[in-house]
Amino acid sequence: MKNILEGLNSYQKEAVTYIGSPLLLLAGAGSGKTRVLTHRVAYFIQQKIAKPSEILLLTFTNKAAGEMKERTFKLLPEIKNLKSNNLFAGTFHSFCCRVLRSDGNCIGIPPTFVIYDSNDQENLIKNILHELGLTVKEFKPSSVLYYIEAAKNSFQTPKEMASQSHGFWQDYATKIYSLYQKKLFEFHALDFNDLLFKTVELFIEHPDVLAKYQDIYRFIMVDEYQDTNQIQYLLTKLLAKKYNQITVVGDASQAIYGWRGADYRNLVSFTADFKNTKVINLEENYRSTQIILNAANSVISKNNSHPVLKLFTQKKSEDKIKIFEAESEVAEADFIAQKIRFINDNIKIPLRDIAVLYRMNAQSRVLEEAFLRLSIPYVLLGGIRFYERAEIKDILSMLRFASNKADHISEERIEKALGKRKKSLLLEHLKDMDLKNLTSLQILESLVINSGYLNKFDVKDEEDQKRIENIKELKSVAAAHPSLSGFLENITLVQQEYSLQEKNKKKENRDGVKLMTLHSAKGLEFEVVFLVGFEEGILPHSRCLINESEIEEERRLCYVGITRAKDYLYISYATRRLFFGKSSLNEPSRFLSDIPSELVEFEENIEIVRDYRRPKKNDDDLVYDPDIY
């Protein structure tokens, strides 16, 4: 029989073998939480504490669930009859879907119900708006769906939302919510959030059904508990109420999805709702050096609203965190590209083990162009290359048509993006523009404003905010290339570099530097990490500067970024940045001053780098040639 406890530290062993009251595992970054959870499942099965069919293992992605299941089975090679369907490891939604297919008829949901995707939902909202005599301009479908999703995540019915609504928009949003639910019921359909909402509703209204599932799944294990929202918390609370055999794993310091409804306070509520909860801290880190962990501890310790773990490691290294102060975002991106080339050539760290992390998707543009100039392969994770984003293509089609009225392809895209009426208005506006005497930036701003294109977006919507930021970042390119023809030529050349890199890289080959947002990096680790744009207004984001709870979430985001690094960490900021088409003087992020000076050292340029947009009078200074862009 395999020794499941082999290789675990004392706290991990305690976490795996603990039996009795509810268990809360506060697991720091890199502390082996997945290992502990899978070993705990395997231990319970091996020791016959639980049958595989009595364990409910919940997580947030199918990939994570599949990996946990696979790891568990590998730990139990001696159990011959352990079949995949004996152990439920899956997402909250997949579990709820199973429940509703079986017992949803108790609340009028047939087993053949369909699940609407986002397109189905938007089309249904548009139909409802038409019925009510409302326009998509007044009530953008994605904004209404965001409102409905927030209500469902908080387990709020249309009636409950109506009782607390105020103002014209919310009053109508609650009516739309009510009609939306009625139509879903008529169509025998559920949306993604209904899967959880209706399961909780079923359990509350039919205690016998709840008791059935409590008896089936006596042992509940939940991963990433800091990322649960209110309804997910309520679901686990209901399921575990009878036997109190529940284990949850989480780390409040890595709670970075508050904007999505996740509530790290569920970790605190858990100990209040489940009496006699055993709490075990997993603070030994198996990923990063102690210098990197000391920096992370120093940053996160400034948060006061949640428990903070103090990470430590046995891993030894004298390499300090490197800080680079750039004179511009171009100089910053160039330094990063050159440093990556140096690390790859001299330290022989593969490009796939290097990551560049940033706060906003729009920041990828200048980095991508620096990598393309130096022919450094890169992979954009969790995002689309800057010039391939739909909103950027839409704006570029307007600019290309302005430059060349015979460009029928661009004209078609404009009509698709704006509709026939707005396209006609834009064409009329173009007739009145003196393009020869305007800069590319002036033309871009005029077309964006007068086309009404920005009306497509809701500033309260997180995804729409990113699209608006991307459009603003395109202004930075226009500011660097005053002539419209030069601006469009530059972009065409960059896009050509994209194409060449894709042709030279097999689709299955992901061996390039990883570029991604800090949010996308959670759960990953790399030998070398570059944290870029470490400035006030970027990290922390300007939208968060007046709200202390949002500043705390930004600090957690910074903490997540730091703890992705295993051996080498670079932090960079620019003293002057052309961002969103405007030049600004930026202060370094407040989080930089949280890191003790003895943990860092300033990095010098590999070679002299000057921003071509601000050429110096001294001929000896290296000046960028715009043609290479």
By annotation, the residues acting in catalysis are 33-34, 223-224, 254, 564
- E runs forming strands in 133-253: 189-191, 219-222, 246-250
Structure tokens at 42: 């395997």
Rounded to whole angstroms, how far apart are CA atoms 350 and 577? 30
**Which residues is 568 bridged to in the sheet?**
528
Contact yes or no for 450/418 (Cβ under 8 A):
no
Structure tokens at 165: 């609504």
- SS3 state at 181: helix
Q: What is the dihedral of CA 533, 537, 540, 541, to 10 degrees?
A: -100
- SS3 state at 279: strand
Rounded to whole angstroms, how far apart are CA atoms 210 and 233? 15
Please give the single-letter amino acid code of residue 100.
Answer: L
DSSP state of 278: E
Length of the chain: 629
What string of H, E and C letters represents the secondary structure of 7-72? Answer: CCCHHHHHHHHCCCCCEEEEECCCCCHHHHHHHHHHHHHHCCCCCHHHEEEEECCHHHHHHHHHHH
- Give the residue among 543, 604, 596, 541 at the shortest CA–CA distance from 572: 604
Contact yes or no for 58/223 (Cβ under 8 A):
yes
Contact yes or no for 557/359 (Cβ under 8 A):
yes
Structure tokens at 554: 């930004």
Structure tokens at 77: 């090679």
Contact yes or no for 213/221 (Cβ under 8 A):
no
> Helices (DSSP H) in 504-627: which residue ranges?
518-521, 548-562, 590-594
∠ CA 619-621-625, nearest 5°, is: 90
∠ CA 115-120-121, nearest 5°, is: 90
HSE of 484 in the Cβ direction (CA atoms, 13 Å)? 21
Contact yes or no for 571/588 (Cβ under 8 A):
no
Residue with tokens 């620019």: 574
